[in-house]
Amino acid sequence: MYKILDKSIIGADEMVLNMGPQHPSTHGVLRLKIITDGEIVSHIEPIIGYLHRCFEKHCENLSYEQIVPFTDRCDYLAAMHMGHAYSIAVEKLLDIELPQRVEYIRVIMSEFQRIASHLIAIGAFGLDVGAITPFTWTLRDRERILDLFEQVTGARLLYNYIWPGGLAHDLPPNFIRNSIDFLDYFEPQIIEYDNLLTTNKIFIERSADVGVMPKEVAINYGVTGPSLRGSGIPFDLRKNEPYSIYDKFDFDVPVGEGKMGTIGDSWDRYYVRVLEMKESIKILRQALSQIPDGDVQSAMPKKIRPKKGEVYSRYETARGDVGFYIRSDGKNIPTRLKMRSPAYCNLSVLNEISAGWMISDVITILGSLDIVLGEIDR
Amino acid sequence: MGANFLSEYINNIIYGVKSFITGMGLTLKHLRNKKDLVATLQYPNEKWPLPERNIGFEPSDYNVIRSRLHVDIDDCIGCLQCEKACPVDCIKIDTLKPPKGNDYDCGKTSHDTQKKMIVPRFTIDMSECMYCDLCVHPCPEECIYMVGGPNEDKHEIDYEFSQYERHGLIFEFATSTDEDILDIGGETYLEERKVKEEKRKKGEKLEGIVKGESSESVDEDQPEKEKHKDPLLEIFNIVPDKVARGIAKKAVVFGKRSGFDFSKISEEVEGRISAAGKTTSEMSTAIETLKNYKPTPIDIEDPSNSKENESSSKVEKGVEELASKSSDFNVKSMDFITDKMIRGIAKKTFMKCKRLKLDVNATIDSIISDLDTNSKLDNDTKEKLLSFKDIGKTSDNLSEIKETIKEESNSLFDIKLLNAIEDKMIRGSAKKIYMAGKRANKSSSEVVEDIINELSDKMDDKTKGLIGDLE
Amino acid sequence: MTSIVDYLLNLLSFIEIDTSLLLIFVILIPGIGLFLVMTVNAMVAVYMERKVSAFMQDRLGPMEVGLLGFKGGKKFWGGIGQTIADAIKLLTKEDIVPDNADKKLMLLAPFIIFIGAFVTFVAIPFSENLVVSDFNIGIFYIMAMSSVGVIGIILAGWSSNNKWSLYGAMRAAAQIISYEIPIGLSLLLVVIVAGSLNLGDIVQWQSNHRWFILHSPFTFIAFFIYFISVVAETNRTPFDIPEAESELVAGWMTEYSGFKWAIFFLSEYANMLIVSIVASIVFLGGWLSPLAILNIGIPEKWMFLDGPILGFFWLMIKAMFLIFVMMWFRWTFPRLRVDQLMYLCWKVFIPFALANLFFVSIWELIF
């Protein structure tokens, strides 16, 4: 931490710096207005809205099945999570019970998507700090996951696969073998990333003790996801309020412990993501060995026309806690749909934890919070 | 303390050097093993294989590949499921059904389903398509699908279909010729299509205002001018003398701008005309009409409609407008009340009465009573409201006129009046009977008789009374 | 050793003009030669950087643009002509100058940096008699002239009228000036042992004794301090905070485009070459072949590997290896923050360098 100079003593002026919407390091079109004293930041104001596409208003004119491709496009780096969260919300409205095979496949897809999203988070964090090579390596591994997705759904980034009431279609015959091959290939790669980036002295210098987020600040601002767990709070929706079949699997919830600095610094948030990838591999191995047979589309209703009512359902995506609020009036289009986006609340804490650090640190902190502008602006 | 600091310092340096060496060793390993680890695909020479064709589904032509959409138009039965399913509305389909007498054979699909209509227009705009695959699933004949995989042999291009111009991405799949459309009895469709095509072509040229065609534009403007003519000024059109007409109209405009009411305007006109020495009988009639003239909220089609009409519905309309013209009592009449609360109550009551189709006097009475119960009535308001009542007397004349007109022509009542029936089923049947009667050119009483005969057992007394009223 | 200029003067002495006038003509030839060296070096270094970085990142680098019959495409050597294509493109690019920027200073800055690099080349010997001008204060001159570049950087940052460029320029000023000190101290070490500032004399000493890097453990440490400090001097990762790509877009070079940027680029690679050559001359034996590392007796058959022409190639190989190591650093490590950079310089390198100096003197006294 650096002390912010008292203006009255020196008579120096503040400088207003604009990290504009186009910048190599803000993960998307985010505009940051930084008020600094030399290199030391005293106040940050994020300005969002450059990617607003009127998702919620648009959904008031689309039927329930037609909304699924649009949920994909909100958080385009973790599209399966969004589709899954939305489907769970609609199924709560409709009161359907799903066959076991559908649940298992959905969990497998979600966990793969979690690994893919964390790989980008790790790579992009390294890129922000200056290490360019780990970014290309993580992206190469992510491409393999996207190949698996391509075999199942035909698309690599925006799938439109998890529909309310079931799935679009079943898995291809070789999928399980391919995914186990991938998992065997991927576990040593995490060790490689650790060697190159996580334990690198320069990286530790850059990120440890930087942007410490104490527990109270995290809870007050509504931060969720790995950023919250990096501050030492073991809250994970998959364990605390289990949805789908997550209570059948045996996995831990990694929590930041301040190994290289204080609890809740950027290194902790980063390391929680690395550990979460390992936990996801555990879940995947268990799920892949236990898939039952069944018909994937047996519970899908012909026309989705829920009764009058409203529902709010929560789901743990790679970035945090997404919530879908749907209100229906008995028609086949929702009357109101709202999405609570986790990255929006995570971004709001930026001002609090970056006061007193340098501009380079602002970028480090932003990278460790892992935001996606598509989700923030919707 | 110093020793601790020094040892920490040295430890930091040693740890740093060790981590650097591990990191550098890793990068060197990647450099040396480049042949195995390189992840680049040299695109035009090596292409990424598309996902497996058969995903364990019947039929074997089904694929998950996302690429260009294609339609086997001979299989399309025109059910419009794909059009409804598309979230971005990039599919546009027109269907034509042969009418009852026509026995055009639309053909059979490859799954042996008899087609009941032809599809003269099936356009997919691939530049809007978001490749979500939602249109492929609902098709009952599996005629819309994405190219690639098992059906690759049938097509030349699959996912590399970039075009140089934007409209090159609009794919038209329909193959019906004009003769087919005419055979099936779709002349109106062809004409509409022609009109649309011409409009589009004209719009494409974007010529703007063309100077050489000014006379044409004047001609075109005139019918519009007529539409926007002020009805007040129209009254004076019966005067043959142009100069007198001009003076009178100028006086009217002056009066309107000064905010006179109608009697004062007519006095103004009289004054000016007599000063100019142009008083004639037509002029006096016109001035009388002006004196009694009441502005209407109805729009500008009044002049054209107040002229002679033969068709019964138009007479009906004209009568209704005449009624409203002379009654001059509508919601805006309440605006003289300055207090917002009272005005609100008055207007609410007015709307309620209007919905119940009470006549003017009853409306005014109810407004007065409502204001009274809320103890918001003061004398000025009451008087003004009562003054509106006087006008209501003319409505009695009007209802007589209405009756006579009705008896003179065998006009049918408007189908919309049947909307008063609350029950959906009965309303539907009543409307069907009405349409049948209309086609057979029955009179209104006969139609009502038919309705009552058909549906008497289903209707309750209230509905019967309603229908009786229509007569 | 004689220098090129002397040689040429002798060659052309038959022309009956005053020596100083002849000098002006004679200077042009090595001048053009040096310029060619700089450009060729830039092209080769850029290509090497792109390929090395690509292989370290599991990708392929430029593959399509071929040169003189080496067709691009699938084979490993595809893409050789890419640098030339890029150079031509840079020459034809539009020169955008921001509205409120100081035009004259903006034009001046790249040339100052270029001059700094160019002038330093004058004192560098490429082989035994292949030096443009034989200074007897060689090392001192080189250190002095390579510091001229800082002025150019500060001018560039200031005249761009851009807050981000200013940041980059300020950081660069602090960084470059601070890292001069460990460089100076390490080189001082070598001068103490060898006894002369002249580069030719230093290589002579190494051919008589042994390569400096293996002379004593302290010179070994001095080599590393010197090498890491020059990485900081030339603004390469992990010390590229002035032109930090992910924070400041391109730092002090942001507002430059086209030919001016090409000059910056050229000077950066020229700087890299200078410091690598100096490092290999001073620590790694210069133009001596690797067979003479420890200066043990070599059989007659192998003696032909030592010589003025082959010496050039040995020097280039060593310099290229050091440039490769610089690139290796760049693609492995994240970058340091400004204050950590300063910490490293003042609290780690300078104490070590001073301690080194002290211990080396003792070593020399004893051994």
- How does pLDDT run across C64-119, given as a tens digit for each residue? 777 776 666 666 667 778 888 888 888 888 888 888 877 888 888 888 989 988 88
Lowest-pLDDT range of B67-81, B146-160, B236-250, B336-350: B146-160
**Percent of chain B whose pLDDT exceeds 70:** 70
- Predicted confidence (pLDDT) per residue in B96-135, tens digit: 888 777 777 777 878 788 888 888 888 899 888 888 888 8
For the stretch B51-56, contacts whose Cβ atoms lie closer than 8 Å and that sit 24 or more positions apart, written own/partner, are: B51/A150, B51/A151, B51/A154, B51/A172, B51/B149, B52/A151, B52/A172, B52/A174, B52/B149, B53/B149, B53/B150, B54/B150, B55/A169, B55/A170, B55/A171, B55/A172, B55/A173, B56/A170, B56/A171, B56/A172, B56/A173
- Out of A169, A174, A200, the one facing B23 most closely (by C-beta) is A200
- Predicted confidence (pLDDT) per residue in C330-357, tens digit: 888 888 888 888 888 998 899 999 998 8
pLDDT of residue B459: 64
B13 vs C: CB within 8 A: yes
Which of these, C318, C322, C323, C291, lies nearest to C305 by C-alpha position? Answer: C291
Partners of A168 on chain B (C-beta within 8 Å) are 133, 137
CA separation for the pair A327, A333 (Å, rounded): 10
What is the pLDDT of chain B when averaged over all its residues? 72
Partners of A358 on chain C (C-beta within 8 Å) are 337-339
At position B275, the amino acid (one-letter code) is: A
What is the C-alpha end-to-end distance of chain A, expressed in Å?
A: 34
What is the average pLDDT across C193-221?
Answer: 84
The residues, any chain, with a CB within 8 Å of residue A243's CB and separated by 6 or more, are A88, A237, A313, A314, A315
**A with C: how many residue pairs have Cβ under 8 Å apart?**
76
CA separation for the pair C211, C230 (Å, rounded): 20
pLDDT of residue B457: 67
pLDDT of residue C293: 65
Partners of B40 on chain C (C-beta within 8 Å) are 58-60
C259 vs B: CB within 8 A: no
Partners of B28 on chain C (C-beta within 8 Å) are 328
Q: Which residue has tokens 């923030």?
A: A376
pLDDT of residue B250: 82
Cis? peptide before A173, omega within 30° of 0: no
pLDDT at position B200 over 50: yes
pLDDT of residue A83: 92
CA separation for the pair A186, C35 (Å, rounded): 50
pLDDT at position B268 over 90: no
The residues, any chain, with a CB within 8 Å of residue C347's CB and separated by 6 or more, are none
Helix or strand holding residue C200 (H, E): helix C199-208
Partners of A199 on chain B (C-beta within 8 Å) are 19, 22
Is C59 in Cβ contact with A200 (below 8 Å)?
Answer: no
How does pLDDT run along chain A (378 residues), one tens digit per residue?
A: 666 656 666 666 778 888 878 777 667 888 889 888 777 888 899 999 898 999 999 889 989 988 999 998 888 899 999 999 999 999 998 888 889 999 999 999 999 999 999 999 998 998 888 888 889 889 989 998 998 888 888 888 898 889 998 888 888 878 889 899 999 999 998 988 888 888 888 888 888 888 898 999 999 999 999 999 989 899 998 888 888 888 889 988 999 888 888 888 899 999 999 999 999 999 999 999 988 888 888 888 888 888 899 999 999 999 999 999 999 988 888 999 999 999 999 999 998 888 888 888 888 898 898 888 888 988
Q: State the smallest CA–CA distance between residue A224 and chain B in angstroms.
A: 30
Partners of C77 on chain B (C-beta within 8 Å) are none
CA separation for the pair C237, C231 (Å, rounded): 8
Task: Kindly list the partner chains of chain A, i.e. chains with 3 or more CB atom pairs below 8 Å.
Answer: B, C
CA separation for the pair C17, C12 (Å, rounded): 10
Partners of A68 on chain B (C-beta within 8 Å) are 132
What is the average pLDDT across C125-147?
Answer: 84
Q: What are the helix (H) ranges across A53-99?
A: 55-59, 64-72, 79-94
Higher-scoring residue by pLDDT: B338, A299: A299
What is the average pLDDT across C215-226?
Answer: 87
Which of these, C2, C130, C23, C1, lies nearest to C12 by C-alpha position? Answer: C23
Mutation site, A360, A363, A365, A368, interface C, largest C CB count within 10 A = A360
Mutation site, C51, C53, C58, interface B, largest B CB count within 10 A = C58
CA torsion, points A133, A138, A143, A148, in degrees to nearest 10?
Answer: 160
Which of these, B78, B316, B33, B241, lies nearest to B174 by C-alpha position? Answer: B78
A150 vs B: CB within 8 A: yes
Taking the mean position of all CA atoms in its chain, how far away is CA B395?
Answer: 34
pLDDT of residue B157: 64
Q: What are the helix (H) ranges across B228-339?
A: 231-234, 242-258, 262-276, 281-291, 302-306, 312-327
- Complete DSSP assignment for C28-77: HHHHHHHHHHHHHHHHHHHHHHHHHHHHHTTS----S--BTTB--SSSTT
Higher-scoring residue by pLDDT: B424, C325: C325
Q: State the smallest CA–CA distance between residue A159 and chain B in angstroms.
A: 7
Partners of B26 on chain C (C-beta within 8 Å) are 332
**Chain A residue closest to B13 (CA)?**
A201
C301 vs B: CB within 8 A: no
- Out of C58, C247, C249, the one facing A137 most closely (by C-beta) is C58
pLDDT of residue A342: 92
CA separation for the pair B453, B433 (Å, rounded): 11
Mutation site, A140, A194, A201, interface B, largest B CB count within 10 A = A201
pLDDT at position C219 over 70: yes
Residue B108 is classified by DSSP as: B
What is the average pLDDT across B312-317?
Answer: 44
Q: What's the whole-model pTM score?
A: 0.74
CA separation for the pair B378, B371 (Å, rounded): 9
- Out of B39, B65, B85, the one facing A154 most closely (by C-beta) is B65
pLDDT of residue B471: 57
pLDDT at position B185 over 50: yes
Higher-scoring residue by pLDDT: A50, B333: A50
Cis? peptide before B59, omega within 30° of 0: yes
pLDDT of residue B60: 47
Which of these, C126, C146, C141, lies nearest to C3 by C-alpha position? Answer: C126
Pull the structure tokens for residue B59: 């039929």
B24 vs C: CB within 8 A: yes
Taking the mean position of all CA atoms in its chain, how far away is CA C53?
Answer: 19
Is B27 in Cβ contact with C332 (below 8 Å)?
Answer: yes
CA separation for the pair C194, C202 (Å, rounded): 6
Cβ atoms A65, A83 nearer than 8 A: no
Lowest-pLDDT range of A127-131, B176-180, B386-390, C14-18: B386-390
- Out of B13, B30, B45, the one facing C56 most closely (by C-beta) is B30
pLDDT at position C49 over 50: yes
Task: Kindly list the partner chains of chain B, i.e. chains with 3 or more CB atom pairs below 8 Å.
Answer: A, C
- Out of C164, C334, C338, the one facing A200 most closely (by C-beta) is C334
Q: At what angle do helices C308-330 and C217-233 cross, to 10 degrees?
A: 70
What is the average pLDDT across B326-338?
Answer: 65
CA separation for the pair A323, A74 (Å, rounded): 13
CA separation for the pair A254, A275 (Å, rounded): 6
